[in-house]
Structure formats: C-alpha cells, structure tokens
Structure 1
Amino acid sequence: MSLHNLSGTGVPGERTDAVSAMRGGCPPWHGGAESSTPRSPVEGTIRADVAIVGAGITGLSTAATLAALRPDLDVVVVDAGGVAAGASGSGTGLVGPRVGPSLHRLRRTRGDEIARAAHRWSQAAVAHVLETIADGDIECGLSPGTQLVVASDRRAAKSLLAEGVAARALGVEAEVVAARHLPAAASRYLGGVRYGPAATVDPAAYTHGLARMCERRGVRVFEHSRVRRVEPERQPVLVTDRGRVVARRVVLAVNAFARQLDASSNVIALRVQAGATDPLPADVIAVLESLRTEPVIEHGDLSPYYRLTPDDRLVVGGGSVGHGSEDPDGGSRAFLDAAVRSLHPALRGQRIVTTWSGPIAMTRDGFPVVGSRGRDEAILHAGGCCGHGIASSSWNGAYLARWIATGHRDDLSDRFPWVRTSGPWIPSGRIVDRVLAQYLRRMTGSARSKLVT
C-alpha cells in the first residue's frame, strides 16, 4: 500500500458521534453549524426503491443525481450520525484533479491510454463539483483555481519533473513551474507542477448543500440511524437500532467505516490531521493571497499542504496519520506550527489555534473502489478515494446513480481500474493491525523530524 502524498483533503464517511469527530478542536467551516438542525431517525419499517447508507459526499451525490435522473424512484439516505458528521464535514476543502498513482507511474504500470483517461476522468470530477454547486446554488465559499504541488528537496524535484514529462507526453494539463516562477507563497520551494481545474470549498457547507438538494428533489434523509447489518434477502434490508429499511437497491457509501458493513471493498481506514490559524493580518495575506485560488501541496509522504479560507485563516494539513476510523490519541500541533513557520518568513509569528482530525479510506493500489458488492448488483458500493475525496466521491456517486437509473453500468472497467467489486486484498487481524500501526507511527515520526526542529 502506498501512502504517497497522503493528505486527507476531504473524504466522505459516516460517524456514530459527530462531536467526537474533532477531539482537538473544530474546523473553521461555517457549514458545520447546520448540523444543529437534526433530521429524524429511522423508526419502524421504511420501504424505498433505493436506500443509501452514508450522508457524506458519496451518498448524497448518488441520491441527488439519481433523484434528478429518475424522479419516479423513492430514494432514502440513512446515516449513523448526521449530514457531514464524518470526514465530509471535517476535511480541508481541496477540490482537485488526480486519481490513483502519479501520471508517470501510471504510464509505466498501466500504459498511456489508462493514464490519460484517468486524468481526464479526474478533471471531469472537478467540473462536476463546480456544476453541482452552480445548479444547487450551494453557498460553500467556492474559490475556483488550480493546485500547485511543490518540491522541498532534489528528490521531490526529480519526481515532479518526471510528472511534467509524463503530462506532456499524454497531452494533459499539468504545467511544470520553475522555482523562479513560483508565487510568493511557495517561494522557498525548488519548483512544482500546477494542476487544473481545481477549487477550494467549505466542505461542510458543500455537503449540507447536497443534502438540501436531495430533499428538494424528494429524497428522504434520516440521521442518527446506524445500520447494524445488511440482510441480503429477496430485497436487501438495512437493520438499525430502532427500525429497518427495505429497498430494491442499496448503496453503501460508508468509506472509512466499511469494516462492519462493507469489508469486501478492501479499504483500510486511516486518521489524518489538520489545523488552522486565526485570521491573518492584511500584510501577511498580501503575501499569501495566491493560496486562496491555488493551494500549495508539498510533495512527499505526510508532507504539509496549505490553503486560505475566505475569512483569511491559513489551513494546514499533514504530519500525522493513525490507524482506524476513530480519532487519534493526539496529532502533532508542533508539526503544524512548524509547517506554518516554514512556509514563508511573514508567518513566523503565527501559530495554529485549532486542530482536528478525520477518517479517510485507502486501498493498496491507490485507486478507489466503485461497483457492485460481489456479483449481487442489488448492493453497490463506493469508497477508498485515498485523500482526494471531494471531487472523486462526488463523481463516483454520480456514476452509481447513472448505473441505477439506466439499469446497466457504463463500460468503463477497461479504462478505469477503480470500477471493480473490490480493491486488492488487505490482510487483517490483530497482528496485522499492530504492524500497520507501528509502520504509521514511523512514518509520522519521520515527517515530524523532517520539519520540526
């Protein structure tokens, strides 16, 4: 399993406790306040044509698209906590292209056709998010732009140069940027690659906007209804603590919480951290203004990444990863503070004032999982976006909706390796968990020691 460039930039999921999602503090997302208006839980027996488990980006995107394509279908969404209670509401709001491994690795392992198609697909995913926001009139602090992946050392610079060479060979949009042409916010780096289209959003507001779009289209959304099991009878049945949902089709959009309901997807849950400063002074904002439309993502395992919020806070992620969907015992505020100071001299007096964490889902090969659960097409699933969840999850949900609406899936599996029943096998058990936890601790320690002096 590769953790390269693991950043946790916003992946959907389902939580049993919205409050515990952010032990170290709260993200600076205004959209999170909407969670104070709860929806009713599942009680008794509810019947529907399609039942979706998970009120994160994947589940709500599936429901909203399906309701638009097939308004005759009765669609329900069920969540253990509430809308945006998982990583969909506590990500860092980066919406960008790229799916799976790097372009130069994809060319080597899968060939030019798949590499090109995968990147075009990821660009279409970003476009889909922008169209959804416009169609739903979703107020989510949208800032369209690009993303800049940068190199802090010669090894990273060499890797990014190879990425630029691959992009040119494939004819896709990824521009190599020499050090002298980097914006002031990234002036300390040795160069980078600029990807587009991209954007930043308030992820909680985007997810709540999807929920409102669903309800305007007739979708019923139930909160505080943890699905304990799925009974594959003549029609699938979702069993909750206080009731059950009987449906002809089921979509499992639980992502990092797949261990109980969707273990066959072969995704592994990890916990990543982020933090934010207070609003920055005007003179500092003048230096970092480019981060509003072009976040900076440092190349490398658990390396820091940066964006500005509409209210002038600097959001920083990276530096800590834990095993499992529950919160870590504590991230590294010292890493995040050091990341702030290292970005630019203008920031040396600034510090992180709040931190939070969220669960993401990884696969061994870095590709998501989108398809049916085994041979039974009555149950579909999607997840494992590996830290690039806002665009990929939205587009994956729309794909599943088209599959359900038309009665057949698009013939994409030859071009898109993530259209599949499951990811590569991942061993499990207590010994494996301990080994993985030790490996992640070493990675976290290495990332901290590289930055924290």
Structure 2
Amino acid sequence: MTGHGTPWAATGHESSRPRLRGRRRCDVAVIGAGLTGLSTAVELLTLDPGRDVVVLEADHVAAGASGRGTGLLGPRIGPALTVARKRYGDTVARAAHLWSHAAVRHVLDLVEEHRIACDLTPGSQLIVAPDEQAATAHHQEHEAAQSLGLPVEFVPRQELPQHADHYHSGLRHGPAATLDPAALTEQLAGAGERLGLTIHERSPVRRITPGLLPTVVTDDGELTADHVVIAVNAFGTSLAAAPRGVLGVRVQAAVTEKLRQPQLDALHGLRTEPLIGHGELTPYFRLTPDDRLVIGGGAIERGSYGAAAPAPGRLRAAARALSPALADIELDSAWAGPIGVTRDGLPTVGHHPAAPWVHHAGGCNGHGLAVTVYSGALLARRIADPDARPPALPWLRKNAPWLPRGALTNHALDRYLAHLTAASARQPYRPHRHPGQTTAGRTGSA
C-alpha cells in the first residue's frame, strides 16, 4: 500500500501550465484550481465568453480534496431536516434540500455538456443506521421529509440490500451518482481553457492588496482584477480576505486492491448505491468501475497544512467488517488531507463584508462534490449580474458563525476530535451472527 498516494489516477501533475510571472490585468482572478474555482471560471466564461478570467493555483489542478475525495455526488446540505426545520423553519429547510438536488443536476449537466469522462455512474445513496438510536433518527427524518414533500425513502431493515442487512434501517436519497473526482476536476480545467481560461499553477497567493482595483500578489507576479474569487476552502486561513468561521480539518480515504468475483457478488449493489453510515465518522463505501472498494471516514484531526498521515488500519477494519467476503482485504492506497467545516454545518458563499469585489465559497462540511461545484456557479452568476437577488438560503452569507481561537480552544478541539476518532475505532460495525440467528433477530449494533 502506498502511504500518501491518492485513490485516483490523477493525470495532470506534470502540467505545462506556467507560473504567474510579472504584472497582468484581468477581469476576474480566481484563487484555487479545485472544483469551486474551476466551476466559477467555467460558468463565468459560459455566461460571458469575452470575459478575461485567470485562475491561480498554489500547487497543480486537483491537488487538494477536489481531486482526492471518495467521488460521492449526492444531495443533502447542512444539518438533518429535523434540525433544519427547528432552526430555519419549514420553507427554508425545504428550499435548502431542493437546492442540493439542483446542485447534483448541475454537475450532471456539466459532465454532459463538456463531455467529461469521469466514470460517472448514476444511482442513489443509502444512509444506514448502525443502531436503534440511529434508526429512531431515521424515522424522524423520514417523517420530516414527508411533511415537507421531499423525496426521501425510508428503507426498513428487512428491505435493506444483502451487503447492508446488518444495519437497522436506511434512508435512500437521490438523485445521486459516483465519479472520479480527479478526472472531473482536471477535465473541468480543460473545458475552461477551451473557453479561454488561463490557469497558472505553482503560483501561491501571498496577499490581496486593496486599491482602486485589487491586486493579487504571488511569489513571482501580480494580478490586478475587477473581482477576486477565493476558492481555497480549508487553505484560506492564511489570507486576510478569506471568509471567517471556516475551520480546516484533515479527513481520510482509501481504496482497496481489486476485488475477486465472490467479493464483487457480495457487494454488487455498491456500484450504483454507496453505503453511508449515520453519525460522526461512520464509514462509507462505494465500488469503482475497475472493481475496487473506496472507503472514507474513521479519523479526523484539526489542521489545514503540514503532513497528514492516513490511518489505514481503521479504514481496512471498516472494509473487513462490511462483509465476511472482505475478511482478508488489503488497501492499495490511502490519502489524508484537509476539508473546510463550519460551526453550524453549512457552507459560506458570498462576498467580503468590507470589500464586495472579493467573493468566496467554502466550508462544505464533507458534502463537497455537488455543493462546491454549484457554489462556484452561484458566485459566477453574482459577478455576472450583481443586481440579481440571490435565493434566501442561510449559507449565502458574508461569513460563517464565529469560531473561537487560541491555544486553549485548539487543545479542547483536538481532544474532541480525538474522542470522535477513538469512538469510531471502537464502533462494532458488524455484529457476529450466532448459528441459527436470523436477520430479524439481530439486535446488536452494526
């Protein structure tokens, strides 16, 4: 198993895209060549083909979580519907969920429009309850969805697929799909370049200087623009103009060796319907077109920078607990890296409170693929038509809720994240079945 590799066969590392050198003027400067930044650029150039858009990337296209995630494209945003109804009211809770559906459809349309080959496999997502407490929450969530007229299906234990029959219940969400996020990100960059986009790699932004027109400063150059888009998610803490309230945390993912046919037979439903555990850090699984199992979850720690070592033991244990057919499974590669989270579980998409020409999107809290791409499109539409009224959604805001800072706060947060990680390691994902015990008779946690 490789120690710090990506589960995906990225193709753009040896790019010929140059650094930014010298001084240049453009209409829109986008910081970050991940899904948010690239979708912003592509949408801008689609709306106005004559606009001069430049993307600055500190490393290379798809270097971060956009190119190394688990490839789950699905709806849902923010807290559970039961929480969202109490916090925001029924109208906003329903609109938010439907917005997440529109986000999925937007990605599907992008893939079709630009003919992006990213192993797109349409389907659904199954959120599974590992214990009775989670099953009760599933019933409540389904009732909330019914009250709001939302298409969330409750799946009782006896109707769960074979590879999930040790769980207590499920919630089926759609529309959804799986895909290769590295291919999506890299080919979205190519689609932008065909529309006239300029991308400078190995050009980390050091500061944004205000003035009559803002100037983005890198190690080797300066870029003056009418608008600046900050699309660096968890890496934005070093920029003074980045949104407040976004915390960087490091998560992990892994992919197994190629599965044998009996293993594939036991897990065949995971091709079109990934399995996602209910609760903090519970594992989630899906199959790739080349017959490998992708696993996420299991460990989390604070931090946006520095070395991030994956914890392959937990991911391997989660895979082996999923099915007896995987008892001897080994991992092929693993990755750990940062994502952005917020205190209320919602992203922040908007502009700087004192500088309306600085736009931002980040803090997707693990709902990355659909939310990041669609958030970029929203930013582009706001730049293209600043007088348009945005929808009344709680994450369209100038900053996320305030997060305390300091050594004591960081220590407390580190202890809390360590507690979540330890609890995940103790989670008995699959109960041992006694001889003669039926599925209906099992009461242990999954």
User: Aligned pair 1:114/2:92, yes or no?
Assistant: yes
Whether 1:429 aligns to 2:380 is no
CA displacement, residues 245-297 of structure 1 (integer Å, 9 cap, x when unaligned): 00011000010011111444310000001111101011211221111111000
Contact 2:246 2:341 in 1 (8 A): yes
* Corresponding residue number in structure 2 for 1:167: 145
Distance 1:428 1:363 in 2: 13
Partner of 1:196: 174
What aligned pairs does 1:108-257 form with structure 2 within 5 A after superposition? 108-257=86-235
Give the secondary-structure state (helix, strand or coil) at the position aligned to 1:265: coil
2:345 counterpart letter in structure 1: G
What secondary structure does 1:247 align onto?
strand
Which deviates further from its counterpart, 243-252 or 333-342? Answer: 333-342
Contact kept, 8 Å, 1:368 with 1:386, in 2: the verdict is: yes
TM-score w.r.t. the length of structure 1 is 0.92
Which one is further off, 135-144 or 425-434?
Answer: 425-434
Contact in 2 for aligned 1:79/1:223 (Cα 8 Å): yes
Q: Partners in 1 of 2:411 and 2:307 — Cα distance?
A: 15
Residues 16-31 of structure 1 mapped to structure 2, 5 A cutoff = 24-30=3-9
Q: Residue by residue, what CA displacement relative to the aligned partner does 1:224-264 show, whole Å, maximum 9, x if unpaired?
A: 00000001111110000001100011000010011111444
Counterpart of 1:46 in structure 2 is 24
Q: 1:438 aligns with which of 415, 429, 436?
A: 415
Tell me how far apart the structure 2 counterparts of residues 369 and 403 of structure 1 sit (CA, whole Å): 14
How much does 1:431 deviate? 2.3
Letter paired with 1:336? L
CA change 1:452–1:197 in 2 (3 A) is: closer
| Aligned match for 2:34, one of 56, 64, 77 | 56
User: What is the alpha-carbon distance in structure 2 between the residues aligned to residue 217 and residue 163 of structure 1?
Assistant: 43
How much does 1:407 deviate? 2.5
Partner of 1:35: 13
Once residues 163 and 45 of structure 2 are traced to their aligned partners in structure 1, the CA distance between those partners, rounded to angstroms, is 43
Contact 1:142 1:202 in 2 (8 A): yes
What is the distance in 2 between the residues matched to 1:404 and 1:207? 22
Which residue of 1 is the match for residue 331 of structure 2?
A: 352
- What SS class does the counterpart of residue 233 from structure 2 fall into? coil
Structure number, greater radius of gyration: 2
Instruction: Give 2:384's aligned amino acid.
Output: A
Residue number in structure 2 paired with 1:405: 384
**Per-residue displacement from partner, 1:157-207 (whole Å, max 9, x unpaired)?**
111111111111111111000111111221211111000000111000000
SS in 2 for 1:289: helix
What amino acid is aligned across from residue 379 of structure 2 in structure 1?
L
Q: Is the 8 A contact 1:24 1:357 kept in 2?
A: no
* Equivalent residue number for residue 387 of structure 1: 366
1:285 matched to 2:276? The reply is: no
Q: Offset of 1:393 from its aligned partner?
A: 0.5
Whole-Å Cα distance in 1 between the matches of residues 390 and 375 of structure 2?
Answer: 14
1:69-106 superposed Cα distances (whole Å, 9 cap, x missing partner): 01121000001001001111111110110011011111
**How many angstroms does 1:327 deviate by?**
5.3
> Which residues in structure 2 correspond to 1:258-269 (within 5 Å)?
258-261=236-239, 262-269=241-248
Cα distance in 2, alignment partners of residues 129 and 139 from structure 1: 13
Partner of 1:12: none
Tell me how far apart the structure 2 counterparts of residues 263 and 214 of structure 1 sit (CA, whole Å).
24
Residues 213 and 329 of structure 1, relative CA distance in 2, 3 Å threshold: closer
Asked if structure 2 preserves the Cα contact closer than 8 Å seen for 1:271 and 1:328, the reply is no
Q: Return the alpha-carbon distance in structure 2 between the equivalents of residues 77 and 332 of structure 1.
A: 33
Quick check: 2:29–2:54 contact (8 Å CA) kept in 1? yes
Matched residue SS, 2:344: coil
Aligned to 1:13: none
Shift of 1:452: 8.4
Deviation of 1:328 after TM superposition, in Å, equals 5.7
How far residue 36 of structure 1 moved from its aligned partner, in angstroms, is 2.1
Native 8 Å contact 2:2 2:332 kept in 1: no
In the other structure, the counterpart of 1:450 is 427
How far residue 451 of structure 1 moved from its aligned partner, in angstroms, is 3.9
Displacement, 1:37?
Answer: 2.1
CA separation of 1:91 and 1:38: change in aligned 2, threshold 3 A? farther
What secondary structure sits across from 1:300 in the alignment? coil
Quote the Cα distance in structure 1 between the aligned partners of 2:389 and 2:323: 47
8 Å contact from structure 2 (residues 130, 429) kept in 1 = no
